[in-house]
Structure 1
Amino acid sequence: MNNLLKPFVPPQRAEFNDLTDKRRPMSSIKSNKAPMNGSQKVKIKTTGSFSTNSVSQMTNELCYILYRKKSTKKNKTWGLDAYGVISSKKEVAYNYEMHQRLFVKVYNSESGNFIAGLSIIDDSEQHIATYGNFEFQFSHYLSSKEEIDQAYELIKIKKVTSNADIIKKRDASQENMHINDSDISVDQSYINNDNIEEFDDDIKVIKKVKLVASDLTRKFVIPVKSQNKDQIEQYNMAKPLPGKPLFDKNNIKNPLIMNKENAYTDVDVIVDPSLSQILREHQRIGVQFMYDCIMNVKSKDITGCLLADEMGLGKTLMTITLIWTLLKQSPKQKLYSPLNECGVIKKVIIVCPVSLINNWKLEFKKWLGIKVGVKILNTKTGNNSAEIDKQEFQNFLNVHKVFQVVIISYEKVLSLKNIFENTDFRDKADLLVCDEAHKLKNNNSKILQILKNVDFKKKILLTGTPIQNDLQEFYTICDFLNPGYFGNLNQFKKNYIVPISKARNTESRFNKDLVELGEEKSNALIEETSKFILRRTNEILNKFLPPKRDYIIFCKPTKHQVAVTESILATLNIGSELSLAASSLGLITLLKKICNTPKLLESDTFYKNNIESNNIGISKVKSDYSSESGKIKVLDNLLAQITSTTNDKIVIISNYTQTLDIIQDLLKYKHHLPFIRLDGSTPAKLRPSIVKDFNTNSHIKCFLLSAKSGGMGLNLIGGNRLILFDNDWNPAIDQQAMGRVHRDGQKKECFIYRLVSTGMIDEKILQRQVTKINLSKKILNDDTDFEKEGSKQATNNSDIFDVEDLKDLFTIKKNTRSNTHDLICDCIGDGKLQPVNDTQDYDIDIDIDISNKFIEGSKVVDVLNKFEERDKNEKRKFMKQCFKGYSHFDLSFTTEHKMIDSILNNIDRTDISFVLEK
């Protein structure tokens, strides 16, 4: 009879799977009654002289044991090791898992001397056995022939022939092998009916049946209906019967259960309830998504995932939850395993910026305590520090039980290159986690190449900003995550980058075919990447955290700032394109510094080498720090108003440490405010204590922070008013910096003030940022801030700045309240929220495709004027989408329209031209 068509037989616990199994056989069934549920058993009548019990007891099993002297120290380590000779085993249920209680004799692994005889539980980190003045813990079973031979030779114990050898010899010497001294229960489907005679109504006895090892090793297969071909195909390819889940889902409130690759044969993988009960809904979804990717539930071609959630959504907690789940559980878990290794993974490598190493360690301790062994490799000093790190990393990989997770910096990967390049490294490291993974965006990075060559089986990348500049960098990250998924770089350029870029080019926006092709490729890329990229915005946190108010404050530049800028532009003859190309990068940085304060020019190398000899120069240092910069004037007024009317703490962020120096003097000598500071020169070991002091010490009122030093991992919930003093071309840096205060644990309403110099390069940077953010939102399928319906073309053509806009970077808009607001609308700034779908007269009727139609000479001027007008209106409409949700306030227009923030309502408005509020 076909096994698949047999009546259903509930799975039975396989106490004795095969003659080569080293565990003890199950006890004989003495009852003469037939089994329940229709499952009939046969009783094998055995004859002969061979005993299976004697076989299982003839082989000595060896294991590896860690031990140490008893100590009262808080942080103890296993410094000694030994061989354990197992005399017997006993199955025990321990901490919800199936373990073996081993009775062992312990021998020193160096001298071979006998140390102790004791009882120890395998595969359990919590169980420590004691003997005399020593503590012992099981590490792992010895499996390789070399290790076993070496151990036997050292401890001088005679190695006994294995069960398989005994059976092989007996099969060769005897035509029929009969088993004696015990009765073994066997499923009747394995017995030839011709060899069975009736004994009574319930029991059948076999006469001289030949049994071979292959009969006893056959596994139970769940029956299915004969017409279900798909299920039959799955069962034919199924692995052995899985065991029980680690947790009982019926005893857990709202259990988090992972999806299955094979719904019929996989065991349930259930997240530890101590973690699943604290996860928010979006975090539960995130854990399931990551599991589906790295466990091939989604696709065989996907072995890694990119968690691209914005800051504050708990990427670290979700990753730790998944690591703990995979360390302890597997969907393919059997009832028994020779090594009792139940988890999918055993070793995890976390790579992150050096400033986040301690953050990760503290997060593991916070959520898992001592359940997981976490090793960190910090940057050390000394002549042999590199060798020490290599040895510790090698020990992490080789020692089975002490540490399961190692945390290293990206720079440390370079010093450990030789170990990463070992041929067996991939088999020792099961999971790679890269935090702030946008650091791997450069395909020429040596760190990236080292990690790519390893080809880890499973990878998790974490970054809130996977797209920072262009799609080629995005491809580099995706190809590292899932190699070959998009083909090589040339194929990706042909299929995606070229058509999408052409569609976004201002010169192609009216070519209907190019625009449609670009939209088609964008949607295809979104669909493919959504299989392994998960992106959520921090809008999710709104229901968990206090409100957050965002303000873009346009500060009037001083006459001195304008004069210095005009003098520099005149000196460099910006009208010349050759001059512009040769000096644009240095000039952009110079103009950014002038927006902060002209004092920064004193130490600027580009200024001294190219301009100072021909320029009017800059004024001497004055005692009044606010007199030379409009932004410092506004900062001065903000500090005075906040400290005099509230008890709120303030975080001030700048891209330049020299700017922080000036602000520091302002706090110290004018406002007399206690503050602390963190920048690139702050040692990593001091950073946690600095952050803790600010969050807990009520005496400290201000936190000065360098944007690039504090953009990752800092939780400054002690402050609720954040001032971003200047802007960066990379929007990710500003977004990370502004996310420092509105995070889990914040109790007060948050206010974010972004200072921008009106009409100067500051505004151009702000406008340029929104185009990059739009590209990221589009590819990551994040439409949070954009209308899902509306002008399709305005959304496609997000790259709205052309060559003329580049030249416009070096011009000053003197007669404007805000050049950014001019691009959005013509409202009077009365604080009313402007609807995005209010197109006014934006849409001009131009039904001409210049790519394939002839235009009469007399109509060329009119058509070009219409194109120019339409181009202007398209830009305005897109900018309005980018600043969706902001109310517009012209502070010189009226004082009747109030903002939500009382500080801005009462501040001196002399130096503020316009405010956008959200």
Structure 2
Amino acid sequence: MGRKLAKLRDFAEVEDHPLPTGFLGELRPYQKAGYNWLRFVQDYHFGGCLADDMGLGKTVQTLAMLLHRRESGEAQGAASLLVLPTSLVFNWLAEAEKFTPDLRILAYTGTYRDKNPDRFADYDVVLTSYGIVRLDTELLASYKFDYVILDESQAIKNPSSTTSQAVRQLRSKHRLILTGTPVENSTMDLWSQMSFINPGLLGTQAFFRKEFLKPIEKHQDEGRTRRLHALIKPFILRRHKAQVAKELPEKTEQLSYCPMTEEQAHAYEETKSFYRNKILRNLDEHGPASTQFLLLQGLTRLRQIANHPRLADDTYTHESGKLREVMRMIRNVVAEGHKVLVFSQFVQHLALVRAALDERQAAYAYLDGATRDRPSEVARFQENEDLKIFLISLKAGGIGLNLTAADYVFILDPWWNPAVEAQAVDRAHRIGQTRPVFTYKFITQGTVEEKILALQRHKLALVSELIATDEAVIKHLTRADIEELLG
């Protein structure tokens, strides 16, 4: 172990490996270095922690490594298990389809999942959620996986939680964790995650508490901090956005797919059926012109439910999948030390985000059409290093603001007009911005939001030529378009 460790500590020795032949696309140089590093810790049979900042491509580096396991035969027919927050399942599937279509992936999720571990051998990767690992611990522990990979591994930061105990029972040849925030609150977060990938490395919990946690947290003991860093350094690959800025494009746009909660999906389906029947009947009886208002009304109502059903019905008391995902991403970006602009077209939607931030006692700046003193709110955000979140209504914040302190932009409810969204992104991406900007658009799966994206691709010319107000676009929709939107 000592000799292996000594070699592992010398990062310069990491060998350059060719990418698997079935990998589509290219990796940026730092991503390629990440792929080589994943192969490196694998060769030495250590567990690794890929801790790149959000947006730098932890998913694609991991998929490349999993494809190598399949192509080389090193997995020996065993599947790998990927455990992630439910909201990320679709995002992983979309990335795999794009970069590693040869990987056979089973989404082991949902109430009606087939609880038969024998099926796993027919796949390269099994995707599941932390919730299902808690429910099916025994079943999943009965299969020996090639890899067990935890995405957003801060989910196991509390070593005594049920989630933490459940994942520790899983069996595999290799272990890997992915997180942009290895330490969120306490040094114990680190012990919990490191002891999952390399059991015994940091001693028992009691030993770690005595040797590291207390001296570091209570007495700010720098010697112990250095010792802890030296111990874990070989197993963690962490690149901050600033370190790889030269390799990044100026602007990167990503879609974040959000699944609906059960109650939200029920509200959506009910409203969709109601409007679909009414609109199609009206179209047949009175033609397109007199249907436009009804269509606009129906689409607006469906948009609101896709964001949060409370926007359409103030008696709704359940959660929204999108709000849950937005809050998770805000927490991650802030924990990594970045600033984020959060745009929405609906002031009521921002009000829900505000309430969620207030509940967590998180500070934020805020701007909508009713804000009196815009300059002082902008200055507060730009100049105060500790103020990481700025909530802005798209109408009020689309022009005339310079917000270069932020390098992440969240668009909560993308719609017809990409030009309006581009204006929002340009609040951060303008002269004076020294860092690449990441934009995330939040799309609720299986809703009119997802369908608008598809329609935009077909009607891009129309959308960009017109000043794409809802009314202007709706005039040009065919019956087939309407059926597709309300399908």
Give the TM-score of the pair, scaled to structure 1: 0.30
Task: Provide Cα deviations, 1:537-588, integer angstroms capped at 9, x if missing partner.
Answer: 233356533369xxxxxxxxxxxxxxxxxxxxxxxxxxxxxxxxxxxxxxxx
Q: Which residue in 2 is equivalent to 1:45?
A: none
Choose from 51, 59, 64 the match for 1:321.
Answer: 64
Choose from 13, 18, 28 the match for 1:270.
Answer: 18
Q: Which residue in 1 is equivalent to 2:194?
A: 478
Deviation at 1:904, TM superposition (A): 3.0
Q: Which residue in 2 is equivalent to 1:308?
A: 51
SS at match of 2:148: strand
Pair 1:732–1:303, CA change in 2 (3 A): same
Q: Which amino acid aligns with 2:250?
A: P
SS at match of 2:326: coil
Deviation at 1:487, TM superposition (A): 0.2
- Pairing 1:709–2:325 present: yes
Q: Which residue in 2 is equivalent to 1:395?
A: 119
Q: In 1, are the aligned partners of 2:155 and 2:163 still within 8 Å (CA)?
A: no
> 1: CA distance between counterparts of 2:343 and 2:180?
13
Pair 1:349–1:755, CA change in 2 (3 A): closer
Deviation at 1:466, TM superposition (A): 1.9
Pair 1:680–1:536, CA change in 2 (3 A): farther
Pair 1:473–1:405, CA change in 2 (3 A): same
> 1: CA distance between counterparts of 2:118 and 2:339?
35
SS at match of 1:361: helix
Q: Which runs of 5+ in 2 are unaligned?
A: 5-12, 253-295, 311-319, 345-349, 365-375, 389-396, 403-426, 434-487
Q: Which residue in 1 is equivalent to 2:104?
A: 373
Choose from 500, 510, 520 the match for 2:216.
Answer: 500
- Pairing 1:357–2:61 present: no
Q: Which amino acid aligns with 1:453?
A: Q
Q: Which amino acid aligns with 2:170?
A: V
Q: Which residue in 1 is equivalent to 2:314?
A: none
Pair 1:736–1:477, CA change in 2 (3 A): farther
Q: Which amino acid aligns with 1:527?
A: A
- Pairing 1:491–2:215 present: no
Pair 1:270–1:343, CA change in 2 (3 A): farther
Q: In 2, are the aligned partners of 1:711 and 1:733 still within 8 Å (CA)?
A: no
Pair 1:446–1:318, CA change in 2 (3 A): same
Matches within 5 A, 1:88-237: none
> 2: CA distance between counterparts of 1:366 and 1:373?
13
Q: Which residue in 1 is equivalent to 2:172?
A: 456
Deviation at 1:711, TM superposition (A): 5.0
> 1: CA distance between counterparts of 2:18 and 2:218?
48
Deviation at 1:416, TM superposition (A): 2.3
SS at match of 2:82: strand
Choose from 534, 541, 546 the match for 2:237.
Answer: 534
Q: In 2, are the aligned partners of 1:708 and 1:733 still within 8 Å (CA)?
A: no
Q: Which amino acid aligns with 1:417?
A: T
Matches within 5 A, 1:764-913: 765-766=362-363, 902-904=399-401
Pair 1:374–1:324, CA change in 2 (3 A): same
Q: In 2, are the aligned partners of 1:271 and 1:321 still within 8 Å (CA)?
A: yes
Q: Which amino acid aligns with 1:280?
A: R
> 2: CA distance between counterparts of 1:352 and 1:277?
24
Q: In 2, are the aligned partners of 1:679 and 1:710 still within 8 Å (CA)?
A: no
- Pairing 1:348–2:80 present: yes
Q: Which residue in 2 is equivalent to 1:641?
A: none
Deviation at 1:409, TM superposition (A): 1.5
Choose from 123, 131, 135 the match for 1:415.
Answer: 135
Q: Which residue in 1 is equivalent to 2:224?
A: 521
Deviation at 1:448, TM superposition (A): 2.3
Q: Which residue in 1 is equivalent to 2:30?
A: 282
Deviation at 1:488, TM superposition (A): 0.7
Task: Provide Cα deviations, 1:450-488, integer angstroms capped at 9, x if missing partner.
Answer: 321234321111111222211112211111111010001
> 1: CA distance between counterparts of 2:85 and 2:205?
27
> 2: CA distance between counterparts of 1:462 and 1:536?
12
Deviation at 1:389, TM superposition (A): 2.1
Matches within 5 A, 1:359-758: 359-369=91-101, 371-380=102-111, 385=112, 389-391=114-116, 393-397=117-121, 402-422=122-142, 425=143, 428-503=144-219, 518-539=221-242, 540-541=244-245, 544-546=248-250, 675=303, 678=306, 706-710=322-326, 731-732=334-335
Q: In 2, are the aligned partners of 1:678 and 1:710 still within 8 Å (CA)?
A: no
Task: Provide Cα deviations, 1:506-556, integer angstroms capped at 9, x if missing partner.
Answer: xxxxxxxxx5xx1122222222222111111233356533369xxxxxxxx
Q: Which residue in 2 is equivalent to 1:217?
A: none
Pair 1:733–1:762, CA change in 2 (3 A): farther
Task: Provide Cα deviations, 1:673-727, integer angstroms capped at 9, x if missing partner.
Answer: 9955545779xxxxxxxxxxxxxxxxxxxxx9854333568xxxxxxxxxxxxx8
Deviation at 1:284, TM superposition (A): 0.7
Pair 1:755–1:499, CA change in 2 (3 A): farther
Q: In 2, are the aligned partners of 1:320 and 1:364 still within 8 Å (CA)?
A: yes
Q: Which residue in 1 is equivalent to 2:43?
A: 295
Give the TM-score of the pair, scaled to structure 2: 0.53
Q: Which amino acid aligns with 2:88?
A: L
Q: Which amino acid aligns with 2:119?
A: N
Q: In 2, are the aligned partners of 1:313 and 1:541 still within 8 Å (CA)?
A: no
Deviation at 1:755, TM superposition (A): 13
Q: Which runs of 5+ in 1 are unaligned?
A: 1-233, 235-257, 261-267, 297-301, 330-340, 504-514, 549-667, 683-703, 714-726, 742-752, 768-816, 825-830, 834-878, 885-899, 906-914
Pair 1:765–1:429, CA change in 2 (3 A): closer
Deviation at 1:367, TM superposition (A): 1.5
Q: Which amino acid aligns with 2:104?
A: G
> 2: CA distance between counterparts of 1:390 and 1:289?
34
> 1: CA distance between counterparts of 2:147 and 2:82?
8
Q: Which has the higher helix share?
A: 2
- Calculate percent identity across the aligned residue pairs: 22
Deviation at 1:902, TM superposition (A): 4.9
Pair 1:755–1:362, CA change in 2 (3 A): closer
> 1: CA distance between counterparts of 2:332 and 2:84?
23
| Alignment size in residue pairs | 321
Pair 1:279–1:454, CA change in 2 (3 A): same
Q: In 2, are the aligned partners of 1:375 and 1:405 still within 8 Å (CA)?
A: yes
SS at match of 2:115: helix
Task: Provide Cα deviations, 1:87-122, integer angstroms capped at 9, x if missing partner.
Answer: xxxxxxxxxxxxxxxxxxxxxxxxxxxxxxxxxxxx
Q: In 2, are the aligned partners of 1:287 and 1:318 still within 8 Å (CA)?
A: yes
> 2: CA distance between counterparts of 1:390 and 1:547?
43
Q: Which amino acid aligns with 1:346?
A: A
SS at match of 2:192: helix
SS at match of 1:709: helix
Q: Which amino acid aligns with 1:364?
A: A
Q: Which residue in 2 is equivalent to 1:574?
A: none
Q: Which residue in 2 is equivalent to 1:871?
A: none
> 2: CA distance between counterparts of 1:259 and 1:675?
49
